[in-house]
Structure 1
Amino acid sequence: MSIEIDEAYLKRQLEALLRIASPTGYTDEIVHYCSGELERLGLKPELTRRGAIRAVRQGSRRHGARAMVTHLDTLGAQVKSVKDNGRLEVVPIGHWSARFAEGARVTVFSSAGSFRGTILPIKASGHTFNDEVDTLPVGWRYVELRIDAVTTSRQETLALGIDVGDVIAIDPAPELLENGFINSRHLDDKAGVAIALAAIEALERTAATTPVDTYWLFTIAEEVGVGASSILTGDIASMLTIDNGTSAPGQNSAEFGVTIAMADQSGPFDYHLTKKLVDLCQSEGIPYQKDVFRYYRSDSASAIEAGHDVRTALATFGIDASHGYERIHMHALVSVARLVAAFAVSRVDIKRDAREISGVEGFTHQPTEEADNPLPPEFGSTGSRNT
């Protein structure tokens, strides 16, 4: 029996998360929010020194545990310098194009308090620069942040308390449509966090039992490559990352159903764990497709690169215009949440994974046999076409 996902709860959590600014390096408030919601759901969150969250839902045994990981941090920007005209030169937090920064409303977090502003091209007025507004190159050197405060010089801006290094949050500007489409910045990975919370809510509401402990992990620096590098424990044998999958020309991802990543730029995901996700989608009637991402990494990559010996997989919700003004659909979010819940309650197939090191007995095999490929009727037994 499939575990039903509360779609209204998932949507409410996504809206609440999008209202909280959380560029990498400025994630304290969203950590407080997420911790509070986990407590309300009955889990006890544990925080690392910097605020990554680990909450355990107990299963039938501790060893060989599973982990579900999402990230709370988003893209953003930082003050690179205060310019002579009082405006701010900015650099990105995470990897995203200045093309998507132009026109964005933002909040600058300074030691003196927050300030509102807009990121603009350095030649923003056609009445002044004529065709130069169209020929200006795209890049972070060609934009500046106009602060909504009385300042026309470097000295006046510094006097406000704004200085080099201040973090800048980009407004998400969300729009949730009745037909299920959601447009917003920062759906990567706040939609993933909402999926994780909805899966937990469903497991708690149905009092579902799991064969092993399930660790729910929420990292705070995935956008800069740190991710799940330091939050796993030795009990965790397999980890499922919940993140976005890019639906774009040349990709097999979609904004509907689950997109199961077979590989990213760090290499293939675990064969057996990925196959298990496909099998669960088939048995639970969850629409899915597979994809390979060439210019993409996630919490799974950071965990493996940090030396954690865990099986990893990546289940994604299809996202259009990733790291820009993104679009997703509720169908994908609910589909991924259903898969996450199904994985949590599914049986453990590789029992030796409960031990970090053991002998060859019980170690897995991968299929190598030649596939059955019978000849079509028009060919005879010798392989010659019948004429």
Structure 2
Amino acid sequence: MSQDIAIDPAYLLDVLQRLLETPSPSGMTDAAVHLVCRELAAMDIHFELTRRGAIRATVPGRRYSPDRAIIAHLDTLGAMVKGLKENGRLSVVPIGTWSARMAEGARVTIHTDDGRHRGTILPLKASGHTYNKEIDSQPGEWTNLEIRVDEPVRDRADLVEVGFNVGDTVSVDAQPEFLDNGFINSRHLDDKAGVAALLAAARGIHQAGIELPIECHLLFTISEEVGVGASHILHGDVAEMVSVDNGTIAPGQNTSEYGVTIAMQDSSGPFDWHLNRRLIDLCERHGIEHSRDVFRYYRSDAAAALEAGNDIRTALVCFAVDASHGWERSHRDSLIATARLLAAYMQSPLIFKRDHKALGPIDDFPPPEVQLDG
């Protein structure tokens, strides 16, 4: 039976803050990759990188095949310069899917070929003194937004002179705030809080000196927000994969605000019946506050892995996030609960011994009563 690993809250929150302060919109994730690699190296966890920087780390176990993987994504939402305007401002499009309403007022950094420049995303009609009630009636659309750059520019020619170009990446300030009562307010908790929870779980295992029953890969992807996810970092020996991402706090949802949530289904379909029950059982054994939820407008790294043709059992565990893809809020207790579950899962045996083979007879396939009777 797996041990209940002590999760260090100070470490979890420290690495989360450092991640939040490191811009990593999809397509510009190198700095976050280096940060995570330093944390893995400090734990003596071997890792290797894909060409673009996705990380596959390996925590060895008594058995190396088949193995399992836990995955979280380093990339966040962001924006990109669409055009240089004659009024000396920049038109903008989103990186990833997020509402223009949540972009209004964001402080940003524009990453040009020659350096970084600061600015603010504003609606085209931003001043009530000028536009009166029109500031409230204009549609909340990206075509109604522009970046006011903090440079002495008056027109398009000035923008060119400073060094702005179409296609410059725009990172959005996270503006993290950690409250003494445990609440965490910040953009980009999706999925940097998941990365922090996974690193905290790995650190707990490392410090406890526990040998895992089977090898576990810690995967950190760099393009989940644009739909690629885990499709490019898995290898054929992985039998089980758990994604770590945000669960939404909203009416009609059943996400645990102070615990961990096991997603039973997202927009890509149901997760593995047996793997979900293993995770629920681990929560119950270790007294981890948890709930189950179903997400209608959501996909995770797991979907990309399955769409790429991987025949693996997948699950999704979630830390709580209110106002996802906007001004997000979570709670320390939810992140700790998520890390505790991940540490317990890493210590558990493979669900079925037969899964070490891609194909096998029906003789060792789970009998129907296992699923029908629970």
Range into which the TM-score falls when normalised by the shorter chain:
over 0.9
Relative to the length of structure 1, the TM-score reads 0.94
Aligned ranges 1:164-243 → 2 under 5 Å: 164-243=166-245
Q: In structure 1, how many angstroms separate the alpha carbons of the residues matched to 2:33 and 2:317? A: 23
Note the C-alpha offset of 1:166.
0.6
**1:63 paired residue number:** 65
Note the C-alpha offset of 1:155.
1.1
Note the C-alpha offset of 1:371.
7.0
Relative to the length of structure 2, the TM-score reads 0.97
What is the aligned-residue identity percentage? Answer: 53
Note the C-alpha offset of 1:349.
2.7
Q: In structure 2, how many angstroms separate the alpha carbons of the residues matched to 1:275 and 1:289? A: 12
Q: What amino acid does structure 2 have at the position aligned with 1:227?
A: G
Provide Cα deviations, 1:237-278, integer angstroms capped at 9, x if missing partner.
000101100110111112111110000000000000011000
**1:321 paired residue number:** 323
**1:381 paired residue number:** none
Note the C-alpha offset of 1:367.
3.5
Cα RMSD (Å): 1.3
- Partner-residue secondary structure (3-state), 1:256: coil
Provide Cα deviations, 1:217-242, integer angstroms capped at 9, x if missing partner.
00000000001011001111000101
1:73 to 75, 82, 85: 75
Q: Which runs of 4+ in 1 moved over 4 A?
A: 368-372
Unaligned runs of 5+ in 1: 373-387
Note the C-alpha offset of 1:288.
0.7
Contact 2:71–2:244 (8 Å) recurs in 1: yes
Aligned ranges 1:213-292 → 2 under 5 Å: 213-292=215-294
Q: In structure 2, how many angstroms separate the alpha carbons of the residues matched to 1:93 and 1:133? A: 25
Q: How many residues align?
A: 372
Change (3 A) 1:131 1:217: same
- Partner-residue secondary structure (3-state), 2:242: strand
Q: In structure 2, how many angstroms separate the alpha carbons of the residues matched to 1:340 and 1:370? A: 27
Contact 2:77–2:95 (8 Å) recurs in 1: yes
Provide Cα deviations, 1:311-351, integer angstroms capped at 9, x if missing partner.
00000011100000000001110001000000000122300
Note the C-alpha offset of 1:365.
3.1
Contact 2:273–2:371 (8 Å) recurs in 1: no
Q: In structure 1, how many angstroms separate the alpha carbons of the residues matched to 2:358 and 2:157? A: 59
Unaligned runs of 5+ in 2: none
Aligned ranges 1:71-220 → 2 under 5 Å: 71-220=73-222
Note the C-alpha offset of 1:156.
0.8
Contact 2:275–2:351 (8 Å) recurs in 1: no
1:343 to 345, 349, 352: 345
Q: In structure 2, how many angstroms separate the alpha carbons of the residues matched to 1:93 and 1:351? A: 42
Q: In structure 2, how many angstroms separate the alpha carbons of the residues matched to 1:2 and 1:148? A: 51
Q: In structure 2, how many angstroms separate the alpha carbons of the residues matched to 1:371 and 1:342? A: 25
